[in-house]
Structure 1
């Protein structure tokens, strides 16, 4: 019986230990999975940041080219202005030559070159001004596009971070709930195993108690029978053994139960009968009562053993 209890306790301890290892492995796998998700998200954010840096560098290069173009246009305009001033200065320095035409000259011949010059200069000015305006508009559009792209990338990164945080929180919540359920199941199983173990121990002790009580009652009944047929010299020794067995049985019984109290009273009566009277029939009647009560007690205790009480 002790070997059986030892094997049962060892199996119970191994079950609890294996369940603890399984819970720890599940927690470790979930934490590793979360770390991998965070690493992937961080790599995506790094890639987006690299693309954004490249776009910013390209934008800076384009802005530099536009500025260089504007500087070139300004220099061209300054050169044209200087050229016109130089032409005007040279024209002023050149002495006027009076030419007397033999025939009257048409005014259109003199006006046409001047108009042509003014048209060329006006178109050049308008072209330069238009190019400047278009360049400024292009620059503003590029800056606006870059700003919009930065805002979109920022919002995307914020959304990704928010989604990642929500996902991590959900996974952590689910993991905590699973751990709580597993812990609750483990505690329930441990409690059931403890109750079963306790029931087995109590049942085993009760069975051992029943065997002891049965043996002591049988020995007491045997000594009582021997006492009735023994000689006076033998009765002294046997009577001492009867009292010894009576006290053992009395200590094994429960004074809170009626059958046990009835058995103690009947045993007390039969011992008193042996002490002061030698009526064989009355002794047999008392002995049968003791045996009947003993059988009832043993039967009730066997029922409790079968129910693990």
Structure 2
């Protein structure tokens, strides 16, 4: 029995050692390849995530600009409507003044004047609110914004002085259009259009 234990089957042992070495080396190589694949997937995932984050940021800014454009456009339209209402109220008052004087009904005349004053005060308040909103939407350091505010102030003064603000309101629109065009170009550039 000792002779059996002393005799080593070198070819079998060598084959066993080579098999063990092959398994160990294959496992090491497989682990390295899996690590590289995992690192590559992480890199691709991070890159895609960064691109998606940047795209979302750009879309958010573009949507915010579009909302700003719409808000400014709506507020200027409201302002123009209110300055026209102020002028219309003056026309209404001057047309009724003679009729009310001829009616010889001071109570009715006072009631009509009170109604007119309420409507006039409301129209002025709405115009001033629109003017303030427009001013808050604009950048006071930009020349186009300054030009728009100057046109708005001129239209407001004209309406309150009992004159037709139509020409001044046209200048408001003309001053607004370059701002809208510039912002629309920014939105399109950010969207990649």
TM-score (norm 2): 0.68
2:24 — aligned with what? 165
Q: Secondary structure in 1 aligned to 2:140?
A: coil
Which structure's relative contact order is higher, taking Cα pairs within 8 Å and 6+ residues apart?
2
The answer as to whether partners of 2:62 and 2:187 remain within 8 angstroms in 1 is: yes
Alpha carbon RMSD of aligned pairs, Å?
Answer: 2.9
In the alignment of these two chains, the number of paired residues is 165
The answer as to whether partners of 2:84 and 2:159 remain within 8 angstroms in 1 is: no
Residue deviations 1:26-77 (CA, integer Å, cap 9, x gap)? xxxxxxxxxxxxxxxxxxxxxxxxxxxxxxx69539xxxxxxxxxxxxxxxx
Larger radius of gyration: 1
Within 5 Å, which residues of 2 pair with 1:283-294? 283-294=165-176
Matched, 1:187 2:62: no
Residue deviations 1:83-139 (CA, integer Å, cap 9, x gap)? xxxxxxxxxxxxxxxxxxxxxxxxxxxxxxxxxxxxxxxxxxxxxxxxxxxxxxxxx
TM-score (norm 1): 0.46
* Unpaired stretches in structure 2, ≥5 consecutive residues: 94-116
User: Given the alignment, which residue of 177, 187, 190 partners 1:305?
Assistant: 187
Matched, 1:241 2:126: yes
Within 5 Å, which residues of 2 pair with 1:113-192? 146-147=7-8, 149-150=9-10, 152-192=11-51
Within 5 Å, which residues of 2 pair with 1:22-41? none
User: Given the alignment, which residue of 238, 255, 258 partners 2:140?
Assistant: 255
Deviation at 1:154, TM superposition (A): 4.2
- Would the alpha carbon gap of residues 240 and 60 (structure 1) be closer, same or farther in structure 2, given more than 3 Å must change? closer
**In 2, distance between residues paired with 1:302 and 1:196?**
18
- Would the alpha carbon gap of residues 300 and 227 (structure 1) be closer, same or farther in structure 2, given more than 3 Å must change? same
**In 1, distance between residues paired with 2:14 and 2:88?**
109
Residue deviations 1:208-262 (CA, integer Å, cap 9, x gap)? 3322221111110111122233226454332221111111112222335432233
